[in-house]
Amino acid sequence: MLQDKEFVDLAKKIIKEKPEVFEALMDFEKTGRVPKFTKKERIDITIDSEILRKFRAYCEKNSLKISNVIEKLIKNNLNN
């Protein structure tokens, strides 16, 4: 079992590396519910209307969420 100092050191390490975990615990303490760890943000972009029309049709035809496809493409580009 962890000693008090070891526990505090581990907690500080987790807070530093994963602040969202600490924030989730604080939210749980306030609300009694565990929030989602992944946070999404809304963005505004401007693209060619014809491309958007085709992209929406493609996503609908393949039962895909537009945001998931865009997110995956961004991740792939960041990894290259």
Radius of gyration of the chain (CA): 20
Average pLDDT, the chain: 88
Nearest-angstrom CA–CA distance, 10 and 50: 53
Tell whether 70 is covered by a domain: yes
Is 33 in the same domain as 60? no
Tell whether 44 is covered by a domain: no
Q: What is the pLDDT of residue 37?
A: 64
Residue range of the domain that includes 63: 49-79
Is 2 in the same domain as 35? yes
Q: What is the pLDDT of residue 38?
A: 67
Q: List the Cα angle 68/69/75 in 5-degree steps.
A: 85
Is 53 in the same domain as 32? no
19-46 pLDDT, tens digit per residue, is 887 888 888 888 888 777 667 788 999 9
* Token pair of 1 as six digits: 């079992």
The tally of domains found in the chain comes to 2
Identify whether the C-beta of residue 66 lies closer than 8 Å to the C-beta of residue 55: yes
